[in-house]
Amino acid sequence: MKKIILIIGAMLMTNILRANEPKFPEMGKIEFTPPKADRWEMSNGMIVYFQSDKTLPIIHLTAMIKTGKVYDPADKKGLGELFITMIRDGGTKKYSAQEIDKRLEYLGASIESSINNEEARLSMTCLKKDFDEVLDIFFSMLKEPAFEEKIFNLKKEEELEIIRRRNDKADREAMREALRIFYGKDHPYGWRPEKETISAISIEDLKKYAENYLKAGNIIIAAAGDIDKKDFNEKINQKSSGLKEGKATRPSIPNISLPQKRQIYLIDKPISQTSVVILNEGIKRHDDREYPLAVLSEYMGGGIQSKLGREIRSKRGLAYTVYSYFAKRDKSGFIMTYLGTKPSSVYEGISQILKELEDSARGLNEKEGIESAKSQIINSFIFRFPTAFSIVEERASYEFYGYKDDYLDNYVRKIDSVTYKDVDNTASSFYKTDKALIFVIGDAKKFDKPLSELGEVKQVQEE
């Protein structure tokens, strides 16, 4: 009798646990087609994307500049970042840096700059009534940057301080250093600014950089707001007058030699949590395998309902965060899986992630999960475009990176057409744990097992 009661109790407990397991959300697919944008090429060679939007008396505009961190000279890494900062903060021949800040603050307008590996941006937002004035400041930055010496010295010091503090956050350090080793420390995809390379940069370097990259044929404008197309075109023509014509000369990016066997790297650091990055080779841009890889990435590591979220975090409690995603690059992209965990779960957490990737590569994927992942991507597609400007900016960015005109229009259809077999084949092609780079930052003496049980470990000194 006691045995029967125990069996019934176990069955009830199993049913309770199953009832509380995360379920794949059931959802229909939202129909959404991104609106078109007006596109034209100006006489100076600058491309413009535009959409009139009368919703609010506001105008947004971004200049996408065909440059990026990967085009820095090897002995002056950090030049692009310093340049784009100085474009915004270093004043112009017409307006001093102080005048710009005071005027924008008074108008409630903003101009911001940014740069990533293969793209730089200068963006502005203002009220319709102030558009002429803010646009004049904006194009003054592009046409006649002054690179004020006092600001330049201050920004260099800020960059040096960032380098001094770059290892303060272990998760960011792990991602940066993993990619640095993955691509090679001497490859533009893997390098980072150093004190010596920042110190070597002069105002003359910024002027030469501007001379090369701030050309009309090297810029794509994306804009939307409360203004008619004819008026906007006239104002852009007027304000961009004097912008140097032509295209930039960019250095070629060398080919990449990626790891061909499992590599494990460790920074042994006495911190309370451990950051783990697992890298595999991904895809270049314009590769149609993007679509099944997007579905696979959403299914495996797109959130708490993903396979890794359920297996590593919810079911086993091995992580406070775990996710996976892929990034495209011009030469070669990557697939990154990130694990944030306590030291006593490091070995088990990594082992379980590797097992999940291997199972996926062997075709042990859940059809219900794959369909749920497709629905998540399709239904979230609309939320990528909360404003008219976000659509225009997206369309402009695809031309910037050389995509076909219909890339955005066909995206949902191509995601929806991904089959279960496509996902299996993609997992088999990309989830190669025997070639994975595993990078760990944490307190090794507190690990549940030595990392050496996963393969040869190379200890790295923090720099």
The pLDDT score that the predictor gives to residue 33 is: 81
pLDDT grade, residue 32 (50/70/90)? confident
Q: Looking up tokens 């307006």, which residue turns up?
A: 95
Least confident of 1-5, 356-360, 409-413, 452-456: 1-5
The pLDDT score that the predictor gives to residue 11 is: 44
pLDDT grade, residue 93 (50/70/90)? very high
Whether the per-residue pLDDT at 42 is higher than 50: the answer is yes
Tokens linked to 369:
């999960």
DSSP letter, residue 211? H
Whether the per-residue pLDDT at 14 is higher than 60: the answer is no
**In whole angstroms, what is the distance from residue 138 CA to residue 140 CA?**
5
Give the residue with greater pLDDT, 220 vs 260. 220
The pLDDT score that the predictor gives to residue 17 is: 39
* Domain 38-240 homologous superfamily, CATH: Metalloenzyme, LuxS/M16 peptidase-like (3.30.830.10)
Spell out the residues 6+ positions from residue 99 whose beta carbon is closer than 8 angstroms to its own.
91
The pLDDT score that the predictor gives to residue 28 is: 58
The pLDDT score that the predictor gives to residue 24 is: 52
* Domain 263-387+399-459 homologous superfamily, CATH: Metalloenzyme, LuxS/M16 peptidase-like (3.30.830.10)
> How far is the first Cα of the chain from the last one, in angstroms, to the nearest whole number?
66
- pLDDT tens digit string along 300-331? 999 899 999 999 999 999 999 999 999 999 99
Output the pTM of the full model.
0.90
Spell out the residues 6+ positions from residue 248 whose beta carbon is closer than 8 angstroms to its own.
66, 67, 212, 213, 215, 218
Q: How is 342-382 classified by DSSP, letter by letter?
A: -GGGHHHHHHHHHHHHHHHHTT---HHHHHHHHHHHHHHHG
Number of H helices, E strands in the chain: 16, 12
Domains 38-240 and 263-387+399-459 share a fold: yes
Tokens linked to 44:
């100076």
pLDDT grade, residue 261 (50/70/90)? very high
Laid out side by side, the sheet with 263-268 consists of: 321-327, 334-341, 274-281, 437-442, 263-268, 457-459
Q: Give the domain ranges of the chain.
A: 38-240, 263-387+399-459
